[in-house]
Structure 1
Amino acid sequence: MDFDDDMYDSYSDQDEEFMDTDVSVDDNNCDDDDDGDDDDDVDDSIESSTINPHKKNYTILSEDDLRGRQEEDITEVSNVLSISRVSASILLLRYNWNVVEVHQAWFADEEKVRSMLGIMEKPVLQNDQNSEELTLCGICLENYPRNTMIDVGCGHPFCCSCWNGYIGTAIKDGPGCLMLRCPQHKCRVAVGQDMINMLASEEDKVKYSYYFLRSYVEVNKKIKWCPSPGCIYAVEFEIGSGINDICCKCTHSFCWNCIEDVHSPVDCGTVAKWVFKNSDESENVTWILANSKACPKCNRPIQKNDGCMHMTCREPCRYEFCWLCLGKWINYDHKCNSFDKEKQEGEEKVKNMAKSLLDRYTHYYERWAANEKSRVKAMGDLQKMQDVTIDKLRSIQCQLQSELKFIADAWVQIIECRRVLKWTYAYGYYLPEHEHAKKQLFEYLQGEAESGLERLHQCAEKEIEVHLNAEAPSEEFNEFRIKLAGLTTVTRNYFENLVQALENGLADVDSLPASE
């Protein structure tokens, strides 16, 4: 099957027409004022330059947003059930912040829920609570005036020092402190947030508050924390909406399903295999070639880590062979000290096969990594363009902010295309070798998209320098505008074709005529 330049070019005519379209510029307009907001222009450019744009199906939540939702849920449960906010918090923690489940369980059997969670209906009354009579602390076994000791309404008083140590130890142990009980043996009465605020150290209060906030996210199937290190935002996602790509306010983009970097149009399973393979091999390709041999049965590279020559391949192969001659291992009477030309040729053949497998992996990995590096560099270039380049161009070329939006469009498109192109190399690595038609179609579409991207990147990165170094407005800038905007559209179309083909599993090969 042959692929020529006429295939998959339904967009070519309109792209050429677009690139020939004149864009008028008022060279006499040197007013620096702009009708639009700078941030809005950048947001618009990002939205317009995304491959296969879709309706936003998620909401970014700050810590204040999450605490506000917690307070709303606590207030609702407290009002409906006529209980304290502390008791409402304990209920919500136990029922994973599901207000409906709390109501159902409570009205079905209030007494059972109170008993299970240690929520007392009324505190145990003690006549000596205001007395200065000495009372024994059940933890340190020291006597203290009763009016200086504290209990949670269950009638088991402990001194403030022991309470502080008990709560501090529980908080240091982790989120389990959210379901803390009275320290008295067999007492199930819950220790609420009011006790934490009254008795814990400031450091422990902060940790408890952190665990309390995270509990709201970690039990909610529709909310996840952004996986970027140090990010404080969470994401609420419309499950079942189809598109899993998330872009957090911290600028990190990730897949809702697997939490890896955004990888559409490649599926999560392929990404998982690729990431595992990279962590297992990418840093050791050279070492593997120099220090390993391929299993004679399955060709998997094997490292010798014991002293004897008896080798056993990993699961599921389990083939046993001699490290020196690669012959099948029968027993320890095995001898391979005589030179065997056929065996030597067989060993070389296996080595070459193993090297070929590693060379293939290296080919795809290098291109995957190079596009990721280029994407990161482009992100830095976009930031520089927004901070410095745009203002300089506005001054030199006498342009409005909105008239320079095409530059941001181009850079955002470059970043998105680098991301897609990066993952197409992982896709290509796992594309079965025997599916020649699909492989040929894939490489054709990938090559066309990559060529278009390189032209766009070259134009955005190099040709703009001429206009940044100009001393006055020039007509050539209008030509640059037409060229860059046209390349942006053409490149987007190439990548849309590539993405659509991969999402369809390269099914289009079934409708193409076979080569003669």
Structure 2
Amino acid sequence: MAESQDDEEDYYYDGFEEDSLDSSCNDVERVATDNATSLVISASQSASGDGAADPEFFEYVCLTEKELQEVLERCVQRLCDRLAVTRGSAKYLLIASSWNDDLAVSNYNASLSTNNSSDLPRRERKTSLSSSDPAVCCVCLMRSGALELEPFLCGHTFCADCWNAYFEAQVAEGKGYNILCMETDCAAVITEDFVHGHLRSAATRLKYRKQYTRDCIDSHPQMRHCPSYGCSSVFFAAAPDSKRVVCPHCRATFCFACGSEYHLPCDCRTIRQWWKKAMEDSETMSYMSSFTKDCPQCDSSIEKSGGCNHMICRMCAYEFCWVCLGAWKEHGNAYYECNKFSAKKIQTAVAAGSSSPAVAGMKNEAVGRASSGRMALNKYLFYFTRYKNHEQSLHLEENLMGKIDQRVEKKVQNREGSLIDWQCLIEAGRLLLKCRRTLQYTYAFAYYLQDGPDRMLFEHLQADLESTIENLSFSVERVDKLDLAALQAQMRSAEFRRRALFRDAAKLTVSPTPN
């Protein structure tokens, strides 16, 4: 390990966990700047040095509705001042440019040079009517006064009633930013101020405003919605990263970068690959593990297609028993001994088959394909089963937390210690959850690691943490009399190893495909 035992003894675990991590959502300094609100995370945690030392530490803030609007409007106003466009056009440019001012200006100037209004809205100007008859709407074909026809920046003109009906339908479909012009084959996106000015229903205008704000947040790289259903929390981070966010309202935990379940030490790309593989290979994995076996002689994957247990491998012509994998010629009258388990007999049969002259005469390429396919499946099964095992343990230990609270309450009532003393057990349970979640995703991470010294070091740190966590889990589940010193020592050891594992993983690069 990179850290010495002496360093571990000096390390002090002070209960820093997710409740204190997300306290940054409530401990916020707000400084008025340019009539807007600058959001600055308080340095109270990092001042102690513990936040900066934790690889999972992440600065973010949960925005109020007022703060969210102030942050967005400040960006919009800044672009309006640079380009002299309407607020609706500025907001459209920012969304299309991921709220990068310089990119928005560049895209705007490029649209002016190409005169392409379908890409970005041009400067406001008076446009001609799209109909040959200036008094007829192209949608409803009703004759109206010229003042009742409303043109958009792209030059297409329709009556106010048709604009309202069209926008009502688009908002009902859940659209906000991406409402296009009504004209056929026109790709111009209607700006917010134009839509808002033509919607007559107050309820529809409110719904449209919410949907447009949603699109603003989704396109802003420094903002993230809480993914929980029904939760309206919005988070802001000055330095976005794939780190953990804990919603103070619904207690959901998720990754800031991708919005999915928190997954360090895996990055977002790696965990998406892992989840995709798990979904695609689940049926194949289940079928092969249930209905196929390897030939004891050449390791070819064999599927049983009939009821007879006398198998003949098509690759090497080896005859064996499907039930016990033993050589068929040895069965004879002793066939029914297959119902007696003998690991040694199976191992002997496999070893004897592998050294058979028939294998030596086979095509190495065919044997290699058969072996590599089964080996790839076995490798995936190895990591997937351990991943799922820690996931199951995590769920069970989450249920354990409720029992710990009841146990602590009972101990305090029986005067078997103070609440302060037993609080250490609650902190140990929370630390256990953190470490268990970490271990779960280390197996997805390790699956994509290349062989070599780095992999060996990572697996050593992983095993070290796993052993420590199992000891801590045993203590938390079965503690009856509180040994505060021993429990704190286990907690210090677990937290030390968790951080060491994260620091090592941060230095490693995973392969897009497993080796």
Instruction: Sort the TM-score into its range (normalised by shorter chain).
Output: 0.5 to 0.7
State whether structure 2 residue 393 is matched by structure 1 residue 370: no
| 1:422 alignment partner, one of 400, 415, 440 | 440
Q: What is the CA deviation profile of residues 164-196 of structure 1, one whole-angstrom value per residue up to 9, with x for unaligned ones?
A: 332234446665755644759989895643543
If the length of structure 2 is used for normalisation, what is the TM-score? 0.61
Q: What is the CA deviation profile of residues 364-413 of structure 1, one whole-angstrom value per residue up to 9, with x for unaligned ones?
A: 22221111222233334446656x56555554448776554423321221
Distance in 2 between residues matched to 1:266 and 1:185, nearest whole Å: 44
Quick one: structure 1 residues 262 and 289, their matched pair in 2 at CA, closer, same or farther if it must change by over 3 Å? same
Question: Match for residue 209 of structure 1?
Answer: 209
Query: Which amino acid in structure 1 is aligned with residue 495 of structure 2?
Result: R
Distance in 1 between residues matched to 2:234 and 2:57, nearest whole Å: 19
Quick one: structure 1 residues 209 and 146, their matched pair in 2 at CA, closer, same or farther if it must change by over 3 Å? same
- 8 A Cα contact 1:49 1:409, kept in partner: no
Question: Match for residue 333 of structure 2?
Answer: none
Count of equivalent residues: 422
Quick one: structure 1 residues 447 and 85, their matched pair in 2 at CA, closer, same or farther if it must change by over 3 Å? closer
Q: What is the CA deviation profile of residues 106-127 of structure 1, one whole-angstrom value per residue up to 9, with x for unaligned ones?
A: 89999999976255357999xx
Distance in 2 between residues matched to 1:190 and 1:284, nearest whole Å: 48
- 8 A Cα contact 1:394 1:401, kept in partner: yes
Point out the more displaced range, 154-163 or 417-426: 154-163
Distance in 1 between residues matched to 2:300 and 2:165, nearest whole Å: 56
- 8 A Cα contact 2:242 2:255, kept in partner: yes
Distance in 1 between residues matched to 2:471 and 2:141, nearest whole Å: 80
Quick one: structure 1 residues 97 and 427, their matched pair in 2 at CA, closer, same or farther if it must change by over 3 Å? closer
| 1:452 alignment partner, one of 468, 475, 478 | 468
Deviation of 1:488 (Å): 0.9
Distance in 2 between residues matched to 1:87 and 1:502, nearest whole Å: 44
Q: What is the CA deviation profile of residues 320-377 of structure 1, one whole-angstrom value per residue up to 9, with x for unaligned ones?
A: xxx98248xxxxxxxxxxxx99379969998677555534432322221111222233
Quick one: structure 1 residues 462 and 224, their matched pair in 2 at CA, closer, same or farther if it must change by over 3 Å? same
Instruction: Trace 1:111-126 onto structure 2 (pairs within 5 A).
Output: 117-121=121-125
Question: Match for residue 483 of structure 2?
Answer: 480
Instruction: Trace 1:36-47 onto structure 2 (pairs within 5 A).
Output: none
Deviation of 1:162 (Å): 2.2
Distance in 1 between residues matched to 2:218 and 2:359, nearest whole Å: 59
- 8 A Cα contact 2:257 2:268, kept in partner: yes
Alpha carbon RMSD of aligned pairs, Å?
A: 5.5
State whether structure 2 residue 246 is matched by structure 1 residue 248: yes
Distance in 2 between residues matched to 1:156 and 1:361, nearest whole Å: 57
Q: Secondary structure at the match of 2:483?
A: helix
Question: Match for residue 495 of structure 1?
Answer: 498
Quick one: structure 1 residues 446 and 105, their matched pair in 2 at CA, closer, same or farther if it must change by over 3 Å? closer
- 8 A Cα contact 1:41 1:405, kept in partner: no
Distance in 2 between residues matched to 1:303 and 1:228, nearest whole Å: 44
Deviation of 1:482 (Å): 2.8
If the length of structure 1 is used for normalisation, what is the TM-score? 0.61
Q: Secondary structure at the match of 1:117?
A: coil
Quick one: structure 1 residues 341 and 179, their matched pair in 2 at CA, closer, same or farther if it must change by over 3 Å? same
Query: Which amino acid in structure 2 is aligned with residue 219 of structure 1?
Result: S
Q: Secondary structure at the match of 2:5?
A: coil
Segments of structure 2 that go 5 or more residues without pairing to the other structure are: 14-18, 25-44, 305-311, 317-355, 510-515
Segments of structure 1 that go 5 or more residues without pairing to the other structure are: 20-38, 126-133, 305-322, 328-339, 467-475, 507-516
Instruction: Trace 1:8-157 onto structure 2 (pairs within 5 A).
Output: 9-11=5-7, 52-53=54-55, 55-61=57-63, 64-76=66-78, 85-86=87-88, 88-90=90-92, 92-93=94-95, 96-99=98-101, 117-121=121-125, 136-143=136-143, 149=148, 151-152=150-151
Query: Which amino acid in structure 1 is aligned with residue 475 of structure 2?
Result: C
Higher relative contact order (CA 8 A, sep 6+): 1
Query: Which amino acid in structure 2 is aligned with residue 457 of structure 1?
Result: S
Instruction: Trace 1:266-345 onto structure 2 (pairs within 5 A).
Output: 266=266, 270-290=270-290, 325-326=314-315, 342=358
Distance in 2 between residues matched to 1:391 and 1:213, nearest whole Å: 45
Q: Secondary structure at the match of 1:151?
A: strand
Distance in 1 between residues matched to 2:506 and 2:10, nearest whole Å: 24
Q: Secondary structure at the match of 2:150?
A: coil
Deviation of 1:74 (Å): 3.8
Quick one: structure 1 residues 86 and 103, their matched pair in 2 at CA, closer, same or farther if it must change by over 3 Å? same
- 8 A Cα contact 1:299 1:350, kept in partner: no
Q: Secondary structure at the match of 1:67?
A: helix
Deviation of 1:205 (Å): 3.6
Query: Which amino acid in structure 2 is aligned with residue 67 of structure 1?
Result: Q
Distance in 1 between residues matched to 2:454 and 2:111, nearest whole Å: 61
Question: Match for residue 165 of structure 1?
Answer: 165
- 8 A Cα contact 2:264 2:438, kept in partner: yes
- 8 A Cα contact 2:386 2:443, kept in partner: yes
Quick one: structure 1 residues 190 and 424, their matched pair in 2 at CA, closer, same or farther if it must change by over 3 Å? closer
Distance in 1 between residues matched to 2:371 and 2:466, nearest whole Å: 31
Quick one: structure 1 residues 409 and 50, their matched pair in 2 at CA, closer, same or farther if it must change by over 3 Å? farther
Q: Secondary structure at the match of 1:168?
A: helix
| 2:377 alignment partner, one of 349, 355, 358 | 358
- 8 A Cα contact 2:180 2:187, kept in partner: no
Point out the more displaced range, 406-415 or 114-123: 114-123
Distance in 1 between residues matched to 2:152 and 2:211, nearest whole Å: 24
Percent identity reads 22
Q: Secondary structure at the match of 1:358?
A: helix
Q: What is the CA deviation profile of residues 462-511 of structure 1, one whole-angstrom value per residue up to 9, with x for unaligned ones?
A: 32xx4xxxxxxxxx4xx4333322221122223334444444559xxxxx
- 8 A Cα contact 1:118 1:190, kept in partner: no
Distance in 1 between residues matched to 2:302 and 2:204, nearest whole Å: 51
Distance in 1 between residues matched to 2:373 and 2:110, nearest whole Å: 66
- 8 A Cα contact 2:468 2:493, kept in partner: yes
State whether structure 2 residue 397 is matched by structure 1 residue 408: no
Q: What is the CA deviation profile of residues 244-296 of structure 1, one whole-angstrom value per residue up to 9, with x for unaligned ones?
A: 3122315444445565544433455654543333223345423124556889x
- 8 A Cα contact 2:163 2:198, kept in partner: no
Quick one: structure 1 residues 63 and 292, their matched pair in 2 at CA, closer, same or farther if it must change by over 3 Å? farther
Quick one: structure 1 residues 286 and 191, their matched pair in 2 at CA, closer, same or farther if it must change by over 3 Å? closer
